[in-house]
């Protein structure tokens, strides 16, 4: 299965899913990987990423969008298992919005009061 995945060998998050860079795993299946953020912005802060290299939400197409629905199923399941009943899901697209790693990821943040709109 992993042989057919589109990976970018120079990508930080592709290296994490390949096990080349260590991470603190929250969840894994054949399509996606979840791990705690190295610089947490809330008491609970983890990232959920597709194993396939997709640069951002802007790279989601009819051909690869199934993994996005799957990731949201995983977010619902993992947050339930962690006992989180209120949380925020964020994806930054592009530099101006604050994206620093060009591999699609959804931040899941919980455990503190949040403001709106986000800064």
Among 37, 55, 88, 89, binds ligand AMP (CB under 6 A): 37
Catalytic site residue 53? no
Q: Tell me the β-bridge partners of 28.
A: 33
- What distances in angstroms separate CA 66 from CA 35, 62, 76, 81, 82, one per listed residue? 20, 8, 16, 23, 24
Choose between 4 and 28: whose C-beta lies nearer to ligand AMP.
28
With binding defined as CB under 6 A, does residue 79 bind ligand AMP? no
Quick one: how far is CA 78 from the chain centroid?
12
Among 26, 46, 50, 53, binds Zn ion (CB under 5 A): 53
Among 26, 99, 104, 110, binds ligand AMP (CB under 6 A): 99
Residues annotated as catalytic are 105
């Amino acid at each position: 299965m992993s042989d057919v995945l589109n990976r970018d060998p120079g990508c930080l998050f592709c290296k994490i899913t390949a096990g080349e860079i260590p991470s603190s795993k929250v969840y894994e299946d054949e399509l996606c990987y979840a791990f705690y953020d190295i610089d947490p912005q809330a008491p609970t802060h983890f990232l959920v990423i597709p194993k396939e290299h997709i640069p951002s939400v802007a790279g989601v197409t009819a051909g690869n969008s199934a993994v996005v629905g799957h990731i949201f199923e995983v977010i619902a399941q993992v947050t339930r298992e962690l006992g989180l009943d209120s949380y925020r899901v964020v994806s930054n697209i592009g530099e101006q919005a604050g994206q620093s790693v060009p591999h699609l990821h959804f931040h899941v943040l919980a455990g503190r009061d949040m403001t709106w709109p986000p800064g």
